[in-house]
Structure 1
Amino acid sequence: MKKFSGIALSATLAASLTFPAAAGAQDSFSDIGDSFWAKDAISHLQEQGIITGYSDGSFGPNDEVTRGQAALMLAEAMGLNTANRPDPGFSDIDEDSEWYAAVAAVADEGIIEGYDDEFQPNEPLTRAQMAKVLAEAYDLSGNGDSEFSDISEDFWAYEYIDALAANDIASGYEDGTYQPGDTTTRAQFATFVRNSIDDGEDNESTPEVDEEIVGVLEDVMAQQQELDSYTFDGSVGLILDVPMEDENLSEEEQEMLEESMNMEMDIRGTFQKDPLLTEAIVEQEIPQFDETVENVSLATEDASYQYITDAAFMGYPEDWQDKYIEMKYEDIFDGETPENLYDMEQQQEMMEEVYDVLLENFGTQYFELQDSHEAIPEDVDYEQVLTFEITNDDLDELTTILEEEVLPELEPILENPGSASSVFSAVGSNVQALDEENAIPEEDISEEDIEELLENLNLETFEMHQAINEDNNIVYDAGEVEVSYSDEEQGDMSFGFNYGLASSDFNEDVTLEYGLPESEDDIISYDELMDWQEEQMQDFEEIEEEDLENLE
């Protein structure tokens, strides 16, 4: 289903009522008298400059609207991308036809269907078909209360006609009929459009926008683009609370198991934009082994690196100690590195576009500007805090807007070759290739299973806080997300994360703690890593075979 604004619908659909040569705007149409039943609708659209009528000064209220004309109007009104649509396969419309692109688009969207292998573009659109078109386009639903003497509940278009009636878009004729097989006239079409516009305007809610908050977001985004370098230091916590009591475990073992599911990690590092160079160091205590592990990762425009600080603990060969595992992007993506993989300027531009879409659809009602917040440490120097917070009660509305409005707008932005999504697209193609080889097991998950899962989920906490200094730099970023899940068989469980990250040294010279490898001797190549992993798998399979033989 596709929704589109009343303004777009009126401006394009109704303007297209001037199928023959149109005349300039005029005070009235020669064939529309003051007592004509559709005069108000026609006059309203005329006043808005939407319809102009024929060159002879008439409107032609009883002329028919064809299916091809309706396809053209809808494609334009909905802003549909008519390029590269699947061939609709209609034998009466070839690629050179004036209708082809629009018909392919509306057919692909499921708005207007054909007859077997024909679309019949020159046939008039019936009133039943028009009901379906408007109901699909506006995502209208009925209540089952409509009663037309010539429409039974098992009629193919009943739900669509009922939807128009429930939304006061079409009321039928005085004798109680709807006359679904009659063709749609220009007067009727104008009335349908006017009523649909009114319904859309009545139901349209404008997101709340605080201009001060928008200004802060814009200033912060602009400042982010100016950053050449900075350092960061903070912590990340992962929380997992799952009922895993085992009567065979001692109290100490049970405690260790619970500790293993909740991790606190310290993180620090450096970012440099040009040339791209990042270093991130994650330090984590492993209570079960009385060990502190340091994971070091670096990235450039061409490759990422993992510095091996403790080969034995990580299970790597001893001679890999203090070396770097190098993963060149061209190796990871099989020689086809996505273009502009780490073009930071394009990433920033993409984020600006994403913010515009989010603000347009969600407004700023979930944001709040504060002078201070308890999530920000006292020793941080800042001017204000920008908070984003949602509750479980907000989820239904947010999910609907996200699915119907936001994602369709974000899709072309994230498909930009310079965006980070190109990485995920490349990874996705590799996953798809694996799936085609049946390397990934197919899970039988029904829509009912997903609905049940979502019903049992509850958003306990979702809040993020950014402390902003006088230069519009984000000097501290903190947040917490927690989701709970109730299951009759497994009991209650929860999972989430929290973080607090300070940033400083903006636009200062970069100093790396570990740095990049200085020679080829310090590097473990991607091929070496893959060969080593394959050996581990072979050893594991051999051990499994031995265990099976011993059991037998």
Structure 2
Amino acid sequence: MNDDGSLTPVPTTFVGNKAVIKSLTNSTYVVVEGTHTFSDIQPHWAKGYIETLAAKQLVKGMTDTTYRPNDRMTRAQFAVLLVRALGLPSETYDGRFADVKGTEWFNKNGELAAAVKFGIIQGKTAYMFAPNEPITRAQAAVMIERALKLSIVGYDEATSDKTKKVTDFRDAKQLPTWAKQAIEAVYQAGIMQGRDSGNFDPTSHVTRAEMAKVLMDILELTKLI
């Protein structure tokens, strides 16, 4: 619970009637129970993921009643969701990007600044962030791998399936060099898979529904849910 009474979700697991809060700061905490659904996920393959994350206040709808699961994720949205899911502490924005004022929704509680400080995401250039640009599957894989490598996350790479290789994908030769290692890492971790076609499809965009599943997989993998 913030000083102004607003709530910021932090990773929490439950053992019987005991809440185990995994936070990086000393703060005031409150356990909130609730459910939330959206009219446009009935039915949808990601319904369960979306409702679980919405109940934990990690994802929000585009309106109070609609989630818009098939909309494309933006760079800012993806960064904010990773920061929320991992419970990274907020940071003060230093004004480094010309296209980010620091007062936008995606940095309301210092989320974007935290994503940049912890190295999860970088600018498109040293001075431009492009917050509203849709994020590709290759870019998402890189961000996820960076998040998993954070020491505070505590992900055990030994649990990855090392038999999985990027050569499993039909379009392996088309994967960008800068993303190959990350794609293989998240594939081995079981967070991202190939498409039904057998391709990884690195340049296609991540939808809001796909991000919900990715977030759940990350939280379960790192025992934060």
- TM category (shorter chain) comes to 0.5 to 0.7
- Identify the structure with the greater strand proportion: 1
Aligned to 1:150: 171
Q: Is the 8 A contact 1:126 1:183 kept in 2?
A: yes
Q: How does 1:148-227 map to 2 (within 5 A)?
A: 148-152=169-173, 155-201=177-223
Aligned to 2:52: 44
Partner of 2:31: none
Please give the residue correspondences for 1:75-154 in structure 2 after superposition, counting only pairs within 5 Å: 75-76=83-84, 77-83=86-92, 87=94, 89-94=96-101, 99=106, 101-116=110-125, 117-139=127-149, 143=162, 145-146=165-166, 147-152=168-173
Post-superposition CA distance 1:119-152 (Å, at most 9, x none)? 1011122222211222111226564623222233
- 3-state SS in 1 of match to 2:203: coil
Distance in 2 (CA, whole Å) between partners of 1:193 and 1:67 is 15
The structure-2 alpha-carbon separation of the partners of 1:192 and 1:91, relative to structure 1 and needing over 3 Å to count, comes to same
Decide whether the 8 Å contact of 2:40 with 2:67 is kept in 1: yes
**1:57–1:118: structure 2 CA closer, same or farther, 3 Å change rule?**
same
The one-letter code of the counterpart of 2:222 is G
**Matched residues in 2 for 1:52 and 1:73: separation?**
10
Q: Structure 2: which amino acid aligns with 1:93?
A: V
- Which of 65, 73, 78 aligns to 1:57? It is 65
Relative to structure 1, is the Cα distance of residues 122 and 201 closer, same or farther in structure 2, using a 3 angstrom cutoff? same
Q: Whole-Å Cα distance in 2 between the matches of residues 154 and 123 of structure 1? A: 19
Match of residue 79 from structure 2: 71
Q: 1:422-477 CA deviation, whole Å, 9 max, x = no partner?
A: xxxxxxxxxxxxxxxxxxxxxxxxxxxxxxxxxxxxxxxxxxxxxxxxxxxxxxxx
- The structure whose RCO (Cα within 8 Å, separation 6+) is larger is 2
Contact 1:25-1:52 within 8 A present in 2 as well: no
Distance 1:111 1:47 in 2: 25
Mapped to 1, the partners of 2:214 and 2:82 lie a distance apart of: 14
SS of the counterpart of 1:156? helix
Query: How many Å apart are 1:39 and its aligned residue?
Result: 3.0
Q: Tell me what 1:239 maps to.
A: none
* Amino acid in the other structure paired with 2:194: G
* C-alpha contact (below 8 Å) 2:74/2:133 kept by paired residues: yes
TM-score between the two structures when normalised by the length of structure 1: 0.29
Q: Is the 8 A contact 1:88 1:107 kept in 2?
A: no
Cα distance change, pair 46–201 in 1 and its aligned pair in 2 (3 A): same
Distance 1:53 1:155, change over 3 A: same
**Mapped partners of 1:55, 1:104: distance in 2:** 25
- The 5 Å alignment of 1:89-488 reads 89-94=96-101, 99=106, 101-116=110-125, 117-139=127-149, 143=162, 145-146=165-166, 147-152=168-173, 155-201=177-223
Root-mean-square deviation (CA), in Å?
3.4
Shift of 1:102: 3.7
| Inter-partner Cα distance in structure 2 for 1:185 and 1:58 | 15
Corresponding residue number in structure 2 for 1:410: none
How far the C-alpha of 1:37 sits from its partner, in A, is: 2.8
Q: Give how far 1:44 is off.
A: 3.4
Question: Which structure 1 segments of 5+ residues have no match?
Answer: 12-23, 205-552
Q: What code does the residue aligned with 1:67 have? A: R
C-alpha distance 60-46 of structure 1, shift in aligned 2 (>3 A): same
Q: What SS does the corresponding residue of 1:70 show, helix, strand or coil?
A: helix
Q: CA deviation at 1:63?
A: 1.4
Conservation of the 8 A alpha-carbon contact between 1:64 and 1:124: yes
Which blocks of at least 5 consecutive residues in structure 2 are unaligned?
1-9, 14-20, 22-33, 150-154
Distance 1:33 1:154, change over 3 A: same
1:162-187 per-residue CA deviation (whole Å, 9 max, x = no partner) reads: 11111111112111112222222110
Distance 1:40 1:156, change over 3 A: same
What corresponds to 2:4 in structure 1? Answer: none
Residue identity opposite 2:100 in structure 1: I
Q: 1:172 to 1:94 in 2, by over 3 A?
A: same
Letter in 2 for 1:38: A
CA distance in 1, matches of 2:60, 2:105: 22
Q: TM-score, normalised by structure 2?
A: 0.64
The structure-2 alpha-carbon separation of the partners of 1:121 and 1:149, relative to structure 1 and needing over 3 Å to count, comes to: same
Runs of 4+ in 1 over 6 A off after TM superposition: none
- The alignment of Structure 1 onto Structure 2 pairs a total of residues equal to 181
Q: Which amino acid aligns with 2:39?
A: S
Over residues 307-336 of structure 1, what are the superposed CA-to-partner deviations in whole Å (9 max), with x where a residue is unaligned? Answer: xxxxxxxxxxxxxxxxxxxxxxxxxxxxxx
